[in-house]
Amino acid sequence: MRRTQVLHLLFRFSFFLHQYRIYTVGILMFLLLSIGDSLFSHYGFSFYSSLNHQLLGQVAIKFNQLQIIPQVWLALMGMILGTLIIVISFASQKIPKLIDLYMQDLPSLYYVWFLVASGTHTFMVIALTDTGANLPSNHVFNMIILFPLALMLSLTYVFYILRYTKPSNIIMKVYEDHINRIHELTYGRVRNLIELEVIRQWYQTALFDSFNQLDDLLEFVSFKEPKADIIHDMCNVTREYIRNKQKFNPVFFKISQAVRQDISFKTMLGMFDEMERSRTFYEQKCFRLLGNAYTKFLDNGDFDLASLCASEMAEIGLTAIEQNDEELMEVIIVRFNTVLRFAIKHGIRNNEGRNLYNAAFHYGNYIRSLVKHQKDAQAKKCFMYLRVYGLEIFKHGRLSPAMYFIVDVFASEMKKLLILLYAEGWDPQLQNALLTEILQVDNPPATERTLLSKGILINNGVRILQAGLALFAMRENMQEFVSRIVKDITEDLELLDEKAFYQAIDMTCVRLRFSGPTFWEDTDRGNVNIYYTKDTEYIDTFRELVLQETKHYLITKVTQQYYLDDAEAGLLWDISHTPPHQELMPVLKDASMFESAIQNWKKSYTSADQPLLESLRNKTGFTSENHTLMLSSPQQLAPQSELTLFFSDASKRQSLKKVVHILVNTPEWIEVRMTDQKHLLALSSAQTIRCLYASMHQRYVYEFKGRWVYSETQDTGRIYPEKHMNVTQENSQKLA
């Protein structure tokens, strides 16, 4: 305790000297000048006199005749002080902290007080000489030593002041003072003194004042180079602080009242307890200033400086990871999310994606650092945030089209992270969990997806990146990854028709095949093409997998909708994908298209397909039994339906009417059975007949013509109908 008290007294004394260093330097300079004058009078003057006589002989200087001219000192002091006032006054208009820094600059204080002390020495010597005192040594000391020394240093001092007002030098001065304060906190004597609240507050205030000085300089400096230096230095001192943080006395992290009143923390009243617990109040100060600077740079169009803020934050994050500071890692994640929020607002307002592009890149660098250092909890959390912000940006794409590319950028960062996770040998279950995140980047809520244009859905950059990831997984034999990506891609069929989906797949494959490693334009991150993949040899295999999964997806969908079995679903697929028809769902939505597809497919029709075709007609509802369906083709007549046939007998000039029942309805003919008048029907074979079908549900009469062929051996007849069918709104009872 006694040692602490002594150290406290010494600190208070040094603090007093530091606080009043202007007067301390003045007193010290007068004291040194007095000592120097006394030493010269006793020891130097005799040596100078003998040397003067030896060199000059009879013409040696008569010291009692020397006269000091005070006007010379006044002119020198006027020149120096005038230059000082002019330079400092003008420079302080652009650098508001310059005067404060100058008043604490020791070389400048020493020289100015040297001039004042030397001028005072001149007047005192003249005053004493006028009273009759004989002071040749004092005259010599002033004229031969002090004045030449002041004159020689004057030009050096003017250059020093001019150089001192250069922004880069002021920035360096503040930076060096800040670094020294950080290193002092690791010294044993300071670690003990930090227990005292007044000393702890002084150090915290000194560190925050340095930050505020740099922030003020950032506001008033107009050129980009010093602004970049300020941002770099602010983050560099923060990194140095993090490296030495473990050496500090834990009491240092107790927030003082001065810190609570700091301008950056006035709106953070509820966070002081958390900052004390996590020991991050210093870093929070830096991040608050960086965040403010970032928004200003965005508003002013200084995109490169805004990108520098995000880059330096990623470097701070790397230092925190290297020091294993878990609490600070969480803080940096929050700050990166905040930067993304600023960039999103700016990007939407200006339809400008450059800053989001840069922020996502640096965020990705930070996450990659987490991955390389096995920080799985933080990496997984950041991965989830990328997905969340990617979805939000995707929703804003309708109002700001530039945002769609930024979604691709987010997906690109997630793709690179997944590849890195595999290279680092992370747990496959965790890799699968993170794969789920990237598969959701382009999956906004259904209400949002329905508003997207077909062009955006077809030309989907996220799908290209996911496909590129699937190609990488195929090369590394990660079959589960490939299967999940392929299944997710086929979910686009919920929004795209089959034709548009095939178009999107073909476009994706083309872009993957022909995208080079570089882009033809430069960006802030270089000209790297985010869509490039080196695994192009797997593109054809990937396309086949997607087509197979598409077939499975669509067949499963219609199977569940119409309760089809595998054979019926297979037949439906063959019918719907016979050229020129290449889509399944449109065939099921329109009766005429369904019949057209059957007519195109009938070349491969066999008798074994007949039961399946009849069952398929019944389940899909494209038969006469469907009372809501307006028949468009005779092929839609259901088996067991009743037809009325009209035969023309040319010899008897009369028409015969016959009622028959449909046995089989194939794509080419309708087979019917009758019970009497065989001889009449046989005689009418191969002629054109008129067929009527009365719909009991709709009260419609359907009429079509066909060629009649009768088979005596099987007691059946076949109708080869024409495709055209007429509909009349007659009461079906008229046919009776």
Query: What percent of the chain lies above the pLDDT cut of 90?
Result: 22
Q: 290-333 pLDDT, tens per residue?
A: 999 999 999 888 888 999 999 999 999 999 999 999 999 999 99
pLDDT(729) > 70: no
Cβ atoms of residues 440 and 385 within 8 Å: no
Contacting residues for 489 by C-beta, under 8 A, at least 6 apart: 463, 466, 467, 505, 546, 549
Q: What is the pTM for the complete model shown?
A: 0.76
The reported pLDDT for the residue numbered 116 is 84
pLDDT(445) > 60: no
Q: Which of 275-284, 340-349, 426-435, 595-604 has the lowest mean pLDDT?
A: 595-604
Instruction: State how far the Cα of 682 lies from the Cα of 677, in Å rounded to an integer.
Output: 9
DSSP 357: H
Q: Which of 175-179, 547-551, 677-681 has the lowest mean pLDDT?
A: 677-681
Q: Estimate to the nearest angstrom the gap between the alpha carbon of 624 and the chain centroid.
A: 59
Tokens 């930070």, located at residue: 366
The reported pLDDT for the residue numbered 439 is 87
Q: 86-99 pLDDT, tens per residue?
A: 666 666 656 666 66
Residue type, 556: T
pLDDT(404) > 60: yes
The reported pLDDT for the residue numbered 41 is 77
Cβ atoms of residues 703 and 695 within 8 Å: no
pLDDT(133) > 70: no
The reported pLDDT for the residue numbered 654 is 66
Q: Estimate to the nearest angstrom the gap between the alpha carbon of 407 and the chain centroid.
A: 9
Q: Count Cβ atoms within 10 A of the Cβ of residue 633 and give its class: 0-12 exposed, 13-18 middle, 19 or more buried.
A: buried
The reported pLDDT for the residue numbered 322 is 93
Instruction: State how far the Cα of 387 lies from the Cα of 407, in Å rounded to an integer.
Output: 9
The reported pLDDT for the residue numbered 446 is 45
A 10 A CB-CB count for 301 gives: 11
- DSSP β-bridge partners for residue 490: none
Band (736; pLDDT cuts 50, 70, 90): very low
- Region label for 301, one of left (φ > 0), alpha (ψ between -120 and 50) or beta (otherwise): left
Instruction: State how far the Cα of 539 lies from the Cα of 467, in Å rounded to an integer.
Output: 9
Output 562-566 pairs: Cβ under 8 A, ≥24 positions apart: 562/588, 562/619, 562/620, 563/619, 564/616, 564/619
Measuring CA to CA, which residue among 265, 301, 297, 258 is closest to residue 280? 265
Instruction: State how far the Cα of 315 lies from the Cα of 338, in Å rounded to an integer.
Output: 17
pLDDT(539) > 80: yes
pLDDT(51) > 90: no
Tokens 């199977």, located at residue: 559
A 10 A CB-CB count for 218 gives: 22
- Determine the average pLDDT of the residues in 674-697: 75
The reported pLDDT for the residue numbered 418 is 92
- Determine the average pLDDT of the residues in 10-31: 72
Query: What percent of the chain lies above the pLDDT cut of 70?
Result: 84
**531: its two tokens:** 């869509």
pLDDT(102) > 60: yes
Instruction: State how far the Cα of 630 lies from the Cα of 619, in Å rounded to an integer.
Output: 16
Q: Count Cβ atoms within 10 A of the Cβ of residue 41 and give its class: 0-12 exposed, 13-18 middle, 19 or more buried.
A: middle
Cβ atoms of residues 33 and 219 within 8 Å: no
- Determine the average pLDDT of the residues in 121-131: 77
The reported pLDDT for the residue numbered 362 is 92
Q: Estimate to the nearest angstrom the gap between the alpha carbon of 284 and the chain centroid.
A: 21
Q: What is the mean pLDDT of the chain?
A: 82
The reported pLDDT for the residue numbered 290 is 92
Q: Which of 12-21, 140-149, 173-182 has the lowest mean pLDDT?
A: 12-21
Q: Which one has a higher pLDDT value, 348 or 682? A: 348
pLDDT(269) > 50: yes
pLDDT(64) > 60: no
The DSSP string of 528-554 is: E-TT--S-GGGHHHHHHHHHHHHHHHH
- Region label for 351, one of left (φ > 0), alpha (ψ between -120 and 50) or beta (otherwise): left
Q: 636-658 pLDDT, tens per residue?
A: 999 888 898 888 765 656 677 88
Band (680; pLDDT cuts 50, 70, 90): low
Tell me the range of 33-37, 242-246, 626-630 where mean pLDDT is highest: 242-246
Q: Which one has a higher pLDDT value, 486 or 114? A: 486
Band (447; pLDDT cuts 50, 70, 90): very low
